[in-house]
Amino acid sequence: MTLASLRRQLVAGEITSAGILHHLSGEIAIRDGRTAAYLSHDLEGALAEAARVDLSLPLGGIPIAIKDNMNVLGQPCTCGSKVLSENYRSPYDATVIRKLRDAGAIPFGRMNQDEFAMGSSTENSALQATRNPHDPARIPGGSSGGSAAAVADGTAIAALGSDTGGSVRQPASHCGVVGLKPSYGRVSRYGLVAFASSLDQIGPLTQTVEDAALVLQAIAGFDPFDSTSLDVPVPDYLCSLHDGVKGLRLGVPKEYFGEGIDPGVRRNVEAAIQNLAGQGAEIVSISLPHAGHAVATYYVIAPAEASSNLSRFDGIRYGHRSGTSCDILDLYKKSREEGFGAEVKRRIILGTYVLSSGYYDAYYGRAQKVRTLIRRDFETAFRQVDAILSPVAPTPARKIGAFANDPLHEYLSDIFTLSANLAGIPGISVPCGVADFDGGIALPVGLHILGPHLGEARLLQIAQAVETRVGA
Task: Single out the residue of 198, 194, 41, 191 nearest to residue 116, CA to CA.
Answer: 194
Instruction: Determine which residue in the list 35, 143, 188, 395 makes contact with ligand GLN, applying CB under 6 A.
Output: 143
401 Cβ neighbours under 8 A, 6+ residues apart: 123
Query: Which of these is catalytic: 144, 147, 162, 167?
Result: 167
Element (H, E) at 307: helix 294-309
Binding region for ligand GLN (CB under 6 A) out of 46-54, 102-110, 117-125, 256-264 = 117-125
DSSP-assigned states of every residue in 159-194: EEEEESSSTTHHHHHHHTSEEEEPPTTTB--TTBPP
Q: Letter for the amino acid at 396?
A: P
CB of 8 to ligand GLN, least distance (A): 33
Q: Is 161 in the site for ligand GLN (CB under 6 A)?
A: no
> Using only C-alpha atoms, what is the Rg of the chain?
21
Query: 3-state DSSP call for residue 315?
Result: coil
Indicate whether 419 belongs to the interface with ligand GLN (CB under 6 A): no
Contacts of 446 (CB under 8 A, 6+ apart): 169, 172, 173, 174, 176, 179, 391, 392, 393, 429, 430, 431, 432
Using CA atoms, how far apart are residues 286 and 8, in angstroms rounded to an integer?
42
Amino acid (one-letter) located at 105? A
Q: Which stretch binds ligand GLN (CB under 6 A): 86-94, 111-119, 183-191, 215-223?
A: 111-119
The active-site residue, picked from 67, 99, 181, 334, is 67
Query: Is 301 an interacting residue with respect to ligand GLN (CB under 6 A)?
Result: no
When the beta carbons of 165 and 253 are compared against ligand GLN, the nearer one is 165
Residue 167 interacts with ligand GLN (CB under 6 A): yes or no:
yes
Closest alpha carbon to 383 in 284, 258, 293, 457: 284
Between 60 and 89, how does the x/- string for binding to ligand GLN read (CB under 6 A)?
------------------------------
Query: Residues in contact with ligand GLN, total (CB under 6 A)?
Result: 13
Q: How far apart are CA 307 and CA 355, in angstroms?
A: 9
Among 66, 117, 443, 466, binds ligand GLN (CB under 6 A): 117
Segment interacting with ligand GLN (CB under 6 A) among 5-13, 162-170, 234-242, 260-268: 162-170
Q: At closest approach, how far in Å is the CB of 392 from ligand GLN?
A: 12
| 240 carries an active-site annotation | no
Q: State the minimum distance, in angstroms, from the CB of residue 213 to ligand GLN.
A: 22
Distances (CA, A) of 85 to 8, 216, 397, 418: 38, 29, 28, 28
Phi, psi of 272 (to 5 degrees): -65, -40
**Residue 165 is a binding residue for ligand GLN (CB under 6 A):** yes
Is residue 106 classed as helix, strand or coil in its secondary structure?
Answer: strand
Closer residue to ligand GLN in complex, CB, 118/215:
118
429 belongs to the binding site for ligand GLN (CB under 6 A)? no
99 classed as catalytic? no
* Cβ atoms 426, 182 nearer than 8 A: yes
Query: Contacting ligand GLN (CB under 6 A), which of 32, 68, 123, 414?
Result: 414
Task: Respond yes or no: is residue 162 known to be catalytic.
Answer: no
Catalytic residue among 17, 121, 143, 413: 143
164 binds ligand GLN (CB under 6 A): yes
Quote the CA–CA distance of 345 and 324 in Å, as a whole number. Answer: 20
> Judged by CB under 6 A, does residue 111 bind ligand GLN?
no
> Whole-angstrom Cα distance, residue 443 to residue 448?
16
Binding interface with ligand GLN (CB under 6 A): 117-120, 143, 163-167, 195, 302, 414
Any idea which residues carry the catalytic annotation? 67, 143, 167
